[in-house]
Amino acid sequence: MISMIALSLFANQACGVSPLLNHDVPNRTNGQEVEVRTDMKCKYAFANQSLCADIDLSKAPKTAGQQGSVKVYFWNPNRAGVMVNPSVNWKFTPWMSSMGHGTGKTEVTNAKDENGKDLPGVFVINKLEFVMGGDWDLFIVMEPTTRDPNKEPEQRNVEKVSYFVNE
């Protein structure tokens, strides 16, 4: 009996991460790496798409004229932090409401894993440059999916993040 308990304790320690438990590590779905984040709260909700989003501003430009990037994360709140691609077209739009203008064209790409494969639900907004200092609104816009002329079009889902840029 004691040897059975010792063996089960050893096996649990020696085998590493169990694929059956919900660990905070990447997952595999259909052979593709899927990032899993359990630390994320649904700050920005897109109810029509059953999506949550978050924006990582740690590499965003802090001063006007600098270039930087931001990361945008999308996940289904019912799937315990598994990142998923939106099922509709979306866009990222920086806008300075007080002056009535945006920025130059940004470049949206999938974030890559260490092997260069796309990470579902994780996007990098590159070439982000604020042309002047002040308060900026960063919009994530989900485009409507209804194209049937006999149906009322869906509302666009829009979420806004406020961001300040120094002169």
Of the pLDDT bands very low, low, confident and very high (cuts 50, 70, 90), residue 3 is: very low
Distance (Å, rounded) from C-alpha 49 to C-alpha 144? 10
Determine contact, residues 105/141, Cβ cutoff 8 Å: no
Distance, in Å, from the CA atom of 67 to the CA atom of 65, rounded to the nearest integer, reads 7
Q: Is residue 4 part of a domain?
A: no
Is position 101 within any domain? yes
12 inside domain: no
pLDDT of residue 154: 60
* Residue 91, domain CATH: 2.60.40.10
Is 154 domain-assigned? yes
Q: Do the domain assignments include residue 155?
A: yes
Q: What per-residue confidence (pLDDT) applies to 77?
A: 86
Task: Please tell me the pTM assigned to this model.
Answer: 0.71
How many C-beta atoms lie closer than 10 Å to residue 85's C-beta? 15
The SS3 assignment for 119 reads strand
Domain interval for residue 148: 25-165
Residue type, 89: N
* Angular region, 127: left φ>0, alpha ψ -120 to 50, beta rest: left
Domain count, the chain: 1
| 143 domain residue, yes or no | yes
* pLDDT, tens only, 121-162: 999 999 999 999 999 999 999 887 666 666 665 666 888 899
